[in-house]
Amino acid sequence: MSAAGSLEVDELVKLHRDHLWLHLTNHRAFESQEPPIMAEGNGFILKDIYGREYVDGLSGGVWAVNVGYGRDSIIQAIAGQLKKLPYYAGSMATPPYILLAQKLASLLPDLPKVYISNSGSEANEKSYKIARQYFSEKYPDKKKYKIIYRNRDYHGTTLGALASSGQQERKVKFGPLPEGFAAIPHALCYRCELGKCYPACNIDCARALETVIQREGEDSVAAVIVEPVTAGGGIIPPVAEYYPVLQEICRKYEVLLIMDEVVTGFGRTGRMFGHQHYAVEPDMITLAKGLASGYMPISATVARKSIFDQFLTELEDPTGYFRDISTFGGCAGASAAALENIRIIEDEKLAENSAQMGAYLLEGLKELEKYPVVGEVRGKGLLAGIELVEDKKSKKPLHETHLARIVAEAKQAGVIIGRMVRSVPDYNNVLYTAPPLIVTKEGIDRIV
């Protein structure tokens, strides 16, 4: 019998080959290889159906399982809530939904209004809809609707979230995408898009926002969205001065600053939230992944009270309130999971562990910079990347086949790490790791 239950391994593999259509996968690969199928997890260790064990250097593949696997108290919280009341639509509250909103508001007191949905993409879409309607209520005569995003940032898979993502290859063959989105340069000094050098650059990558706002029309821009630390676009923590500059420009043009903390939230970068490393006060924040560590699908868009208040229009007004819904957003069971997950992160001081273990991880990885193919190692907390180059002088990205081999060999050796999305010659050359926040020095030693 297989680890997955009553099915034999061979049967599972056959069913996989016959029926599955996996995310981000060319199924041709499984004509010559056995498909990977995970069966169990405990702490930061995973086991596949073939009985092999791995250190999970990716927190569930997409940096989500912050508290690690096998958390009985989360499972009990979910089961207890499902017994009482599994579900009621998000237009009606349930106790865990209310308590979760209160908890998030206590962690982010400037953003006390909490809108719950199911995924990171949705949380971002909601933030765009909120920003657009906010300005439409406030300035009925203006068309202030455009969203500015940053190159290399990723904000999701739905068409609006994709249109606002700065990873061009993800958009290929899905167009035409919605209009009303424009890009600013990324914030990676190692490959400055403007060809400048820090600190003489005057943080022009952030100042470019002003040029873009003026080009798009001063009155037409509603919001800017950024990841506090770019994750999937190459592990990019901007320099300290970056966000104050961005924020100043936002305030000057009354543009809302949205921070996508889908990856960086809940301790990932060594603080509870990634933006807390910087002197910046976002107007909205989006949360997902680590909000319930993958035990249930849930996300949140949190906003300033002044934004919420704009939606308190006359009761007779049929379109003044936020007319948005998703069937499962606010599900009682998912809210219960998130509440217990956040309790664990706080009680076990996992953001602090992420800072300490993250420093240890970075120190270990920095050692690799002595090799000619390691261009730069960078990271914050338990979010780290290694940029691989043909040689340090030309900085020419190392071909993705080498990265694929490293990832495959690491897996053979019992460690799961990742590499950036394929087919982008510019930045498919970054390996990354983001283990669960409970990882120990021994776990990190194995990753390094």
Task: Decide whether 222 or 288 has the Cβ nearer to ligand PLP.
Answer: 288
CB 392 → ligand PLP: shortest distance, Å? 29
Task: Decide whether 124 or 429 has the Cβ nearer to ligand PLP.
Answer: 124
Task: Decide whether 157 or 220 has the Cβ nearer to ligand PLP.
Answer: 157
Point out which residues pair with 48 in neighbouring strands: 38
Task: Decide whether 2 or 242 has the Cβ nearer to ligand PLP.
Answer: 242
CB-CB contact of 242 with 189 (8 Å): no
- Return the residue nearest ligand PLP (CB atom): 120
By C-alpha distance, which of 236, 242, 231, 233 is closest to 208?
Answer: 242
CB 230 → ligand PLP: shortest distance, Å? 8
Task: Decide whether 64 or 221 has the Cβ nearer to ligand PLP.
Answer: 64
Q: Can you give the binding site for ligand PLP, defined by CB under 6 A?
A: 62, 119-121, 124, 154-157, 227, 231-232, 260, 262-263, 288
Task: Decide whether 147 or 374 has the Cβ nearer to ligand PLP.
Answer: 147
Residue 301 φ then ψ, to 5°: -120, 120
